[in-house]
Amino acid sequence: MKKLIVGALMACSISANSAELVCSGTVDMLAYHANNKLMIKLSNMNTAVFFCSPDSEWVVSGTPYKTGPQTCQTMYSTFLAAKLAGKTLSSVYFDGDQVPSSCSSWGSWSVANIRHFVIN
C-alpha cells in the first residue's frame, strides 16, 4: 500500500511541472545551435526555443512526447517552407517543464517538444 501511495505522489509531482502552450504566428526565425539543436521563434514569441535535434531522439522533461531525427528534419523543412511562403502557423503545441504560461514569456535557452502544428 505504501508503494502505491508513493508511486501516486511521484506521478503527481512529475506532471505538476509540465505545461502545454499553443502559440501561433509567422516564423520569425529558424536557427541552428551546437550541439545539433534546432530553434524556432514565431512572431508572437519573445525568444527562440529549442525544439528538436536532427540527429537524435528529442526528449524534454515534463512530457511523454518524443521527436525522432527524421521527424525533426521534416518539421524544420516544413517551418522553413512556411517562412519563405509567408504562411501562418495557426497553432503550434509546445510541451515540457520549461514551457511558460504565455507565448511572450519564454525564458532564454528554453527547450520544448512540439507535438502538433497547423499551417494555414
pLDDT of 18: 80
pLDDT of 32: 97
Domain membership flag for residue 9: no
Q: Which domain range does residue 64 map to?
A: 19-119
pLDDT of 11: 46
Domain membership flag for residue 86: yes
User: For the chain, how many residues are written?
Assistant: 120
Domain membership flag for residue 1: no
Domain membership flag for residue 38: yes
Domain membership flag for residue 6: no
Q: What is the CATH number of the domain that holds 33?
A: 2.40.50
pLDDT of 9: 41
Domain membership flag for residue 23: yes
Domain membership flag for residue 78: yes
What is the distance between the alpha carbons of residues 108 and 110, in angstroms, rounded to a whole number? 6
Average pLDDT for consecutive 10-residue bins of the chain (120 residues)?
Answer: 47 61 98 96 98 97 97 98 98 98 98 96
Rounded to two decimals, what is the model's pTM?
0.84
Question: Do 119 and 82 touch, CB atoms closer than 8 A?
Answer: yes
Count the domains in the chain.
Answer: 1
Domain membership flag for residue 35: yes
